[in-house]
């Protein structure tokens, strides 16, 4: 696997080694030993999630204040723009975001450590996203920051979201969000 650093020191783009021929392709989407060797992280996942979104749907910026989750995100159909926002006050990257295009074609994965908010925008119809989490979902602990907060200045590839959940419409501005030490 190839690990690419982003402009936020702890967020990583992971490119798996893909074996492709006239039959199709094969790659390991997760291998704990190779992960540890390539990243230096000893990561344990406890839950897998799968979502489908149509063009322009935005999901996020989500995070949990208990059962704080690290996430390894990949796309198995279509394309998304994936965003991580650092919520750790002790981090030199606090309040900064980074984004990456993930697609079924590029097979890239984005590692988002615990202490970050996460969002993505579907750039194609029928974008399917799979992500592993390091802790379980806790509805009572989930929080949402406004995806289009002007103070964050996230450079979304599409000018507006076509569909938002009620939860995401009710997100708080970053300046009012609960953050981590």
pLDDT tens column, 127-151 = 999 999 999 999 999 999 999 999 9
Average model confidence (pLDDT) for the chain?
97
Q: Per-residue pLDDT for 161 more than 90?
A: no
- The one catalytic residue in 50, 62, 118, 137 is 62
Query: Residue 100 has which token pair?
Result: 């990456």
- The one catalytic residue in 63, 81, 118, 131 is 131
Q: Are 52 and 128 in contact (CB under 8 A)?
A: yes
Catalytic residue check, 63: no
Distances (CA, A) of 136 to 47, 66, 118, 139, 142: 6, 10, 15, 10, 11
How many angstroms separate the CA atoms of 5 and 110, rounded?
10
Residues in Cβ contact with 149 at an 8 Å cutoff, skipping those fewer than 6 apart: 173, 174
Q: How confident is the model at residue 8 (pLDDT cuts 50, 70, 90)?
A: very high
Domain boundaries, the chain: 2-176
Residue 65: the pLDDT is 98
- Domain made up of 2-176: CATH architecture: Sandwich (2.60)
Catalytic residue check, 62: yes
Number of CB atoms found within 10 A of residue 27's CB:
13
Question: How long is the chain?
Answer: 181
Residue 160: the pLDDT is 84
Radius of gyration of the chain (CA): 16
């Amino acid at each position: 696997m190839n690990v690419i650093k982003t402009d936020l020191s702890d967020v990583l783009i992971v490119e798996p080694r893909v074996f492709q021929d006239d039959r199709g392709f094969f790659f390991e989407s997760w291998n704990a030993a190779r992960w540890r060797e390539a990243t230096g992280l000893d990561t344990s996942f406890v839950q897998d999630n799968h979502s489908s979104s149509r063009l322009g749907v935005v999901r996020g910026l989500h995070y949990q204040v208990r059962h704080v989750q690290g996430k390894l995100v990949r796309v198995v159909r279509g394309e998304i723009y994936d965003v991580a926002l650092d919520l750790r006050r002790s981090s030199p990257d606090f309040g900064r975001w980074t984004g990456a295009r993930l697609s079924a074609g590029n097979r890239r994965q984005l590692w988002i450590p615990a202490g970050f908010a996460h969002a993505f925008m579907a750039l194609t119809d029928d974008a399917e996203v799979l992500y592993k989490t390091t802790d379980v979902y806790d509805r009572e602990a989930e929080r949402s920051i406004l995806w289009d907060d002007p103070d964050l200045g996230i450079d979304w590839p599409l000018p507006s979201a076509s569909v938002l959940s009620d939860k995401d419409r009710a997100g708080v501005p970053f300046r009012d969000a609960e953050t981590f030490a």
